[in-house]
């Protein structure tokens, strides 16, 4: 029997982003073995602590470029689009 689609949602499903990425995904393994926090200490002297706008997190920027290199994404604009739609990259 074919039902007509209802414009209202009757069920609520709770989903976490963690559950959407498989346990054996390459990026989970990399995150488990590599601690990228050393980057923040290495570049701290390049940032002003009391002047200017708040900076983007250098660890996040490095991880973005690392993803681009790892998955062969050459364009930074394309990389931003890929990160927006791929849950594993987040």
Question: What pLDDT digit, counting tens, does each position of 30-65 carry?
Answer: 999 999 999 999 999 988 888 888 888 999 999 999
H-assigned helices in 1-90: 17-20, 26-33, 38-43, 58-70, 76-85
- Alpha-carbon dihedral of residues 39, 84, 86, 88, nearest 10 degrees? 30
CA-to-CA distance for 17 and 49, rounded, in angstroms? Answer: 33
Answer yes or no: are the C-beta atoms of 88 and 21 closer than 8 Å. Answer: yes
Question: What pLDDT digit, counting tens, does each position of 20-36 carry?
Answer: 888 899 999 999 999 99
């Amino acid at each position: 029997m074919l039902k007509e689609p209802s414009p209202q949602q009757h069920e609520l499903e709770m989903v976490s982003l963690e559950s959407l990425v498989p346990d054996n995904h390459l990026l989970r393994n990399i995150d488990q073995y590599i601690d990228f926090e050393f980057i923040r200490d290495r570049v701290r002297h390049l940032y002003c602590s009391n002047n200017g706008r708040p900076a983007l997190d250098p660890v996040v920027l490095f991880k973005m470029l690392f993803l681009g290199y790892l998955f062969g994404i050459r364009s930074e604009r394309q990389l931003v689009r890929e990160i927006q739609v791929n849950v594993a990259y987040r």
